[in-house]
Structures are given as C-alpha cells and as structure tokens.
Structure 1
C-alpha cells in the first residue's frame, strides 16, 4: 500500500513483547508515525483501564478501541466515548445457552465506567480462573450476569479456546460475537455485530480516513475482522494460523519488532 493514513495495532502478542513491554525500537518508530501526523490507534480486547500504560509507552494520545470493539476510549481525556454492551437480559440468555454449549465452564463479566480511572468491577464466579495473572471480585453467576457488561469471558481449563468457540457457535450461531485472544481455554463474547473492525471503522470515520488507507496489525482470531476490513492487514509471525490465512502480509514476531519492521517502510 501507499503510506497509510491511519495505523491500528493490537496489543498483546503484537506491539507488546513476551516480556509484556513495548520495545524502545518499536516506541521510536511509533513516535515517527505520530510525528508525521498519522493517527496511531490501539485496538485491543483489553478494557480501558489497561490503556493508559500502553498508550504512554508509545506516546499515543488519541482513540483506543477496547474490549474487542465494544468500547471507544479517548486516551488524552481519559473518557469513554461510547460502549456497546450486553444487557442483563442478553447476559441471562447467554448464560443459559453456555450451560448447554460448554458444561462446566465458569464466567466473568467486564464492566466499564465513564473513565479508565473509574475502575469498574471485573467480576467472576468463584470457579473462574484467569488465563493471565490478575485479580477479580467473586460473586454468584446471577450477580455476574445481572448487570450490563461490555463482554462476558467464559473459561474452561479442560478445553482449548478454539474448541470452546466452536461449541459456543454451534449453539449460539451469530446471535452473539464470539472470539478469543488466547488459546488457553478462554472465549470472549460481545453483543452481536461488535468486533474490532466495527470499533476501528468508527474511529476511521471520525478521522475522515477510508478503510483502504488503514494498516492494521494483529496476532489472534479476534483480529481477523479488523485485518479483513483495512486496506492492508498484517499478521505477526507468532500469530494464530486462522489469522495468517487472511492477512495480506506476515511480518516478524512481536519479539522481533514486527510492527516496526513494516512501519519503517514509510516512517
């Protein structure tokens, strides 16, 4: 593609190395992107509360698409612009279906306030075990499903995420958006039609940038809609096979500064 008018990047496994840090080389290249007046947008499954640290590491102060497209967050203003969540009624329907689709699974809900600094509860059943080191409030399933949430996380340590997604899709069809960002027995469920692509499309429209002029980077199945929507979709070499199949290009791994390798063509 020609010099992109907007750069979008996933976080985990993409712009972050396995040490959970942004390398100085990648930060320098992103700095050159921003110095050229090109927006750099973080697009992640993470909620807003995780955005400030990553945004500060690369110097990004604009929009961040969070929770797999369910939240649009303004980094500079520390403000949630909108959220497209699941109502308690929808969560109740989802919980009932998952009991059939994935018996023995445990659930957690991600709730978002008006700002990243308004730490809303990540609330989970007692049986829920994080795929990553983290803490959470413990509650009954009724409490987890009883309040609006931007996404429901479903955990089953005896299955891969791919197996879980297939089982859930077999029961739910396209009634909800089902995806995953790790294969360690965790799927993430959002409202129907919510993806990283829909969130990024909103940002591009706000900035007056056409999809054909956007480049995006990712590594997991939750990045597939985004890489298919943009003009040039780049998968990390450490990416999931399903993502590698749809990417326009495969770059180096996250530990090899794969994002920077591509952006250095123009910046």
Structure 2
C-alpha cells in the first residue's frame, strides 16, 4: 500500500513484547509516525484502565479502541467518548445460556465510567480465576450481572478458549459477539455486532480516513474483523492460525519488533 493515513495496532502479543513492555525500537518508530502527523490508534481487548501506561510509553495521545470495540477512549483527554454495553437483563439471559453451554464456567464483568479509572471497573464472582496475574474484587453473581457491562469475561480452566467459543456460539448464535485473545480458557462476550473493526471504523469516520488507507496489526482471533476491514492487515509471526488466514502480510514476532519493521517502510 501507499503510506498509510492511520496506523492501528493491537496491544498484547503485537506491540508489547512477552514481558509486556514496548521496545525502544518500537517507541522510536511510533514516534516517527506521530511526528509525521499520522494518527496512531491502539485497538485492544483491554479496558481503558489498562491503556494509559502503554499509550504513554508510545507517546500516543489520540483515540484508543478498547474492550474489543465496546469503548472509544481518548487518551490525551482521559475521556470515555462512548461505550456499547450489555444491559443487566441481557447479561442475565446470556449467563443462563452459558451455564448450559459451558457447565462449571465462572464469569466477570468489565465496566467503565467517564474516565479510565473512575470506578472499580472489574468485578468477578467467587471461583473466577484470572487468566493473567491481576487482583480483582469478588462478589455474588447477582452483583456481577447487576450493572451494564462493556464485556462479560467467561472462564473455564478445563477448556481451551477455542472450545469455549465453539460451545458458546452453538447456543448464542449471533445474538452476542464472542471472541478470545488467549487460548487459556477465557472468552470475551460483547453486545451484538461489537468488534475491533466497528470501533476502528468510528475512529476513521471522526478523522475522515477511509478504510483502505489504514494499516492494522494483530495476533489473535479478536483481531480478525479489524485486519479484514482495513486496507492492509498485518499478522505477527506469533499470530493465531485463524488470523494468519485473513492477513495481507505476516511480519516478525512481537519480540522482534514486527510492527516497527513494517512501519519503517514509510516512516
């Protein structure tokens, strides 16, 4: 493609290395992208509360698509622009169906306020085991499901995420958006038609940029809609096989500065 008008990148497994750090090389190249006046957007499964540290390391102050497309967050203004949440009624119906599809699963809900850290945004029921090292509050299932949530996290340590996704899709169909960013027994459920592509499309509309002029990087199935939507989709060498199928190009791994290697063609 010609020099991209916007650069979009996933976070975990893509622009972050194995130890959750951004390399000096990648920081330098992203700095050149921004100095050129080209917007750089993080597009992640992470909620807003986990975004400022990475954005600040990169020098990125614009939009970030969070929670797999359920939230648009402005980094520089520390402002949640919009959220597409699941209502308590639909959360209850959703979990009732998942109990049938994935017996023994445990759930957690992610919420947002007006800013990244306005409220205690992550709440899990007893028995929920986090897929990553992290601390979280626990409550009854009724409390977890009692408020609108930008996504429901569903955990089962005896299954892979792919197995869980297949089972959940069998009972939910297209009523909700189901995806995963790790294969360690965790799926993430959002409202219907919410994807990284829908969130990034809103950013592009705000900035007056066409999809064909965007380059995007990713590594997991939750990146598939985004890489399929943009003009040039780049998968990391460490990417999930399903993502490799839709990518226009495969770059080096996240530990080898794969994002930076591609962007250096233009910046």
> What is the TM-score normalised by the length of structure 1?
0.99
Equivalent residue of 2:18, what SS?
A: coil
1:176-197 per-residue CA deviation (whole Å, 9 max, x = no partner) reads: 0000000000000000000000
Distance 1:142 1:19 in 2: 36
Contact 1:107 1:153 in 2 (8 A): yes
In structure 2, distance between residues paired with 1:25 and 1:156: 37
CA contact (8 A) 1:212 1:230 kept: yes
Aligned to 2:132: 132
- How many residue pairs match? The answer is 267
Alpha-carbon distance between aligned partners in 1 of 2:121 and 2:93, rounded to the nearest angstrom = 21
Conserved 8 A contact 1:4-1:215: yes
CA–CA separation in structure 2 for the residues paired with 1:35 and 1:28: 10
Q: Does 1:63 align with 2:63?
A: yes
Q: What's the CA shift string for 1:122-156, capped at 9, x where partnerless? A: 10011000000011110111111111000000000
- Are 2:247 and 1:247 aligned? yes
* Cα distance per residue 1:203-228 (max 9 Å; x no partner): 00000000000000000000000000
Using the TM superposition, give the Cα deviation of residue 121 of structure 1 relative to its aligned residue in structure 2, in angstroms. 2.8
Secondary structure of the structure 1 residue equivalent to 2:72: strand
- Structure 1 distance, partners of 2:37, 2:145, is 43
**Structure 2 matches for 1:99-118, cutoff 5 A?**
99-118=99-118
Partner of 1:146: 146
2:174 aligned residue = 174
Q: Contact (CA 8 Å) 1:111, 1:121: kept in 2 or not?
A: yes
Q: Which runs of 5 or more residues in structure 1 are unaligned?
A: none
1:27-69, Cα deviation, whole Å (9 max, x unpaired): 0000000000000000000000111100011100000000000
Deviations 1:65-115 (A, max 9, x none): 000000000001000000000000110110100000100000000010100
Question: 134-143 vs 179-188, which deviates more?
Answer: 134-143
- State how far apart, in whole Å, the 2-side matches of 1:60 and 1:31 are: 8
> What RMSD in Å do the two structures reach over aligned CA positions?
0.5
Which runs of 5 or more residues in structure 2 are unaligned?
none
SS in 2 for 1:34: helix
Question: 1-side partners of 2:119 and 2:231: how far apart?
Answer: 35
Show CA shifts across 1:219-262 (max 9, x none).
00000000000000000000000000110000000000000000
1:158 correspondence with 2:180? no
Following superposition, the deviation at residue 19 of structure 1 comes to: 1.0
Kindly indicate whether residue 23 of structure 2 is the aligned counterpart of residue 23 of structure 1: yes
Q: Does 1:237 align with 2:237?
A: yes
Partner of 1:46: 46
Structure 2 counterpart of 1:221: 221
Matched, 1:9 2:2: no
